[in-house]
Chains A and B, each alone.
Chain A
Amino acid sequence: MNSGAQSPVKEPILSVRNIKVYFPIQTAGLFSGTIPLKAVDGVDFDLLAGETLGVVGESGCGKSTLGRGILQLLELSDGNVVWMGNNIGGLSFREMKKYRKQLQIIFQDPLASLNPRMTIGDIIAEPLTVHYPELSAEERTQQVKDMMDRVGLLPLMINRYPHEFSGGQCQRIGVARAMILKPKLIVCDEPVSALDVSIQAQIINLIKGLQEDFGLSLIFISHDLSIVRHISHRIMVLYLGNAVEVADRKRLYNNPCHPYTQALISAVPIPDPDLEKAKQRIVLQGDLPSPLNPPSGCVFRTRCPLARDLCAREKPRLQQIDPDHQVACHFWQEAQDQRII
């Protein structure tokens, strides 16, 4: 038996295999047709019960699409999503309904994710009315109030409307709605990036606390490495719809092996001013290439300082370099050696 930090005999609660989400884009011109926009282009990962997987990447790297693809809110172009032993990829609305109880999502824009014409009591209760129509009105209200209390909202605010709350409170409402069915997995799609910095920590801690209480698994999507670092057990770095590095949180920070991850980490400010001055920032050249026309071979090669012929010819596969560490780079060893922080 392997005695790693996470024992490999543990069955994953969610297995994502080679999922792809392509959007057909209409081309302009006389001979118009559609070309695929490869938002997510073959991502694999496993998630254990109670684990948090952080997903980081620049905006436009496909991280939100990935989250929605897993929840079947977007149609998958390819690949499997296995949830507790059942493949849920491509299920119809009706077939998917029974899994919706266990799979929830928290959105980026707290106010936009709440129907402005409904009271927050109705908003939080909606999942109950859909999945447990047999509940009486009093039972439902009681559950809603309990949940409001749990997420730090005054239960007597139950008849108020979303616009009467602050951004942070709206996000608590969003969390309560996601939690009311006691799900097993929540996809958090940048849940704090629209909030004030002072509120961010409160919401993160709320989500963390709920995770401990209910044994939730989380997929935490963010562009902010320091937040992801705070909440995740493992982290996946996404670039142009591809996972370039997946590692245990500590390993990823202490020993990033992909040039892109290294660049991302070097951009995070260090609280210690001396260290901050001493460290080298790796500034990436150029812009994110268009996912309509991704580079051949390695998706990162247009901006990679180590790129060479092989990178253009052959796409690097995600390879296991350690029990808790996978990286997709032909020259990861070189990258690892060169790193100076």
Chain B
Amino acid sequence: MKIKPIIPDRLESISEDAVKGRSLWHDARRRLFQNKAAVISMVILGIIVVLAILAPYLSPWPYDDPDWGYDFPGPPNAELKHWFGTDGNGRDLFVRTLYGARISLMVGILATSVSLLIGVTYGATAGFIGGRVDNIMMRIVDILYSLPFMFFVILLMVFFGRNIFLIFIALGAVEWLTMARIVRGQTLSVKKKEFIEAAHATGVSTRKIITRHIIPNVLGPVIVYMTLTIPMVILTESFLSFLGLGVQEPLTSWGVLISEGAKQMESAPWLLIFPAIFLAITLFCFNFIGDGLRDALDPKDR
């Protein structure tokens, strides 16, 4: 009793390697690369990252010393290679914007990693164990959710001083709550699938069930949420900087630059415009990539 396979018969003559299956990751990657907005965003983001890394080599000006021979602040001037002008202390804005990019991106990525680490562990544990443990763990998350987190971050800053690592930790510690909820929900739904039961029926160990069956199936939404968390964190950091709680001079971030620029918006608009453009573009890019990933990984339109 032979059945007719979906795949046409002529493939029977082709070797096995030729019928390599398309995994869901493979499909997702293909769909992501078909999404123009996401691809353009990735390219732009790549360029910003490269610029940030190469910042010291791209301009003759340092990020922390003033150019005594130019206005304080001075408008953009291509001859002097002050492409974005200089700030109120005479420092080159182009270099400072790129150094700001370093800090902003780093805060975004590191804080998100912190949230990822805590959130995935916490959420997967709660979801997998389930029952009473899950109940208690998620009530704790609910309680933390209801605390005014900005207040919490500000308190931390005030007590421990302005420290960049504190910013990472504070932001990550706040963002993990949503991550934990997402991971828990996913784990719960995957845990109920029949293929998990099939694994139990075969005698697969719990550790293998988590690593082989649950985690790969939970990863998709986690990646999407991660991409959407990075811009959120960058924005929060900017907000903190706006309140004067961001990174310390002479280091800078986009938030700090924007907040300084906003003070001199009328007399020296370039101080606001350039960092704001960078920030906006970056946020857009992350959001487009996140959307693209969500569409690509969404199993519904498979």
Contact = CB atoms under 8 A, between A and B. Distances in A.
B5 A154 contact: yes
A280 interface: no
Given A96-B203, A115-B195, A117-B217, A158 B299 contact: no
B197 A107 contact: yes
Contacts of A130: 202-205, 208
A159 B194 contact: no
B148 interface: no
Contacts of A116: 24, 217, 299
Interface string A23-65: 0000000000000000000000000000000000000000000
A112 B195 contact: yes
A156 interface: yes
B201 A100 contact: yes
Given A130-B204, A159-B19, A117 B198 contact: no
B6 interface: yes
B212 to A, nearest CB: 8
A161 B21 contact: yes
A112 B193 contact: yes
A118 B2 CA distance: 25
B250 interface: no
B8 to A, nearest CB: 11
Nearest to B220: A117
Interface of B is mostly: helix
A5 interface: no
Given A104-B201, A116-B299, A157 B195 contact: no
B23 interface: yes
A168 to B, nearest CB: 7
Contact of A113 (B14, B16, B195): B195
Interface residues of A, number: 49
A127 interface: yes
A71 to B, nearest CB: 6
Interface residues of B, number: 39
Interface in A48-88: 68, 71, 73
A117 B1 contact: no
A157 B5 contact: yes
Contacts of B193: 112-113
A140 interface: no
B195 A156 contact: no
Given A116-B24, A130-B204, A164 B195 contact: no
Interface in A106-123: 107-109, 112-120
Interface of A: 68, 71, 73, 93, 96-97, 100-101, 103-105, 107-109, 112-120, 126-127, 130-131, 152-154, 156-161, 163-166, 168-169, 172, 174, 177, 202, 205-206, 209
Interface of B: 1-3, 5-7, 11-12, 14-17, 19-25, 193-195, 197-206, 208, 212-213, 216-217, 299, 302
